[in-house]
Structure 1
């Protein structure tokens, strides 16, 4: 094995060790399916292995890997749904105390109900830690649209989380 191959192999191993769980969770949140999430995560590392020379700065590895995974997901999405409006009110409570504790399944159920036009910017913001401007550039949509979609996605999820909690709360008589 050549020195370059050994270094690439060591770097890829480090990337897997450091980011596998994050990428799997991101893939699961995007796809809503464990098998698809596993496939997307594995495919992400296969592409990363082939294109490792493109990663110039190890500090940007997280973003680079998440971008690969997101692009793979978008290529897999074959159905093109018409954009769905989540209402016109972007008002969102920003107090984290108002968001109830949820199980992973409850969170995924709520994310699955969120139209892709709203789910993707939300996941890019929280999983990839991208700024509004970065999301705008990546998705080729105006900055205001990103902000609006994020606000509406948060409002939808908060409403959905509240209804999930009401569904499982005991009824007091």
Structure 2
């Protein structure tokens, strides 16, 4: 087994490699700087205690994202939806035929706040983590079809909120 020093070095390496990306993801989930900082710190504290479970280093990023999602769910199950102030979802792919439409970021913000956590996380896993349907299904322990319907309904919700005029045509 690894010595404490080796483990400590590995955690420090993890922080250097993944902190920025995990923090950005936490910001998209919570929108609040203080919350995002807390969650990101928690991720590395948990990682430190569970590092022996990570057998394959190539899965490190996925493993850390999983801890982050679980931490978020634990913290926010009881709370109302939080602002996702700088959501980095790539909205180019959401609406069809809206090249010349400016998306109102505040509206986008509100639309995402309205999504239940399960839908929000599915959407962010797809657009921000770049997970496939299969990976999302495995991570959230839900059927492939559920992933597709959650994504589809989340995108439909955003479209309706952001492009209300188009829906009526």
2:163 counterpart of 1:157: no
The higher relative CO (CA closer than 8 Å, separation ≥ 6) is in 1
Q: CA RMSD in A?
A: 2.9
User: Partner residue of 1:36?
Assistant: 35
User: Partner residue of 2:7?
Assistant: 8
Return closer, same or farther for 1:55/1:98 CA change in 2, 3 Å cut-off.
farther
Q: CA deviation at 1:49?
A: 1.0
Q: Deviations over 1:8-63 (max 9, x none)?
A: 12211111111111111211222232211111100000011111122222221110
- What secondary structure does 1:127 align onto? helix
Q: Any stretches of 5+ residues in structure 2 without a counterpart?
A: 81-93, 165-169
- What secondary structure does 2:129 align onto? coil
For the residues of structure 2 that align with 1:35 and 1:73, how far apart are their CA atoms?
Answer: 13
2:77 counterpart of 1:78: yes
Q: Any stretches of 5+ residues in structure 1 without a counterpart?
A: 82-91, 164-173
Q: CA deviation at 1:144?
A: 1.2
For the residues of structure 2 that align with 1:37 and 1:140, how far apart are their CA atoms?
Answer: 25
Return closer, same or farther for 1:78/1:95 CA change in 2, 3 Å cut-off.
same
2:27 counterpart of 1:25: no
Q: CA deviation at 1:80?
A: 8.2
User: Partner residue of 1:139?
Assistant: 140
Q: Deviations over 1:108-143 (max 9, x none)?
A: 444323222310111122333322122223323221
Return closer, same or farther for 1:53/1:102 CA change in 2, 3 Å cut-off.
farther
What's the TM-score, normalizing by structure 2? 0.72
For the residues of structure 1 that align with 2:114 and 2:104, how far apart are their CA atoms?
Answer: 16
* Conserved 8 A contact 1:100-1:161: no
What's the TM-score, normalizing by structure 1? 0.71
Number of residue pairs matched by the alignment:
150
Larger radius of gyration: 1
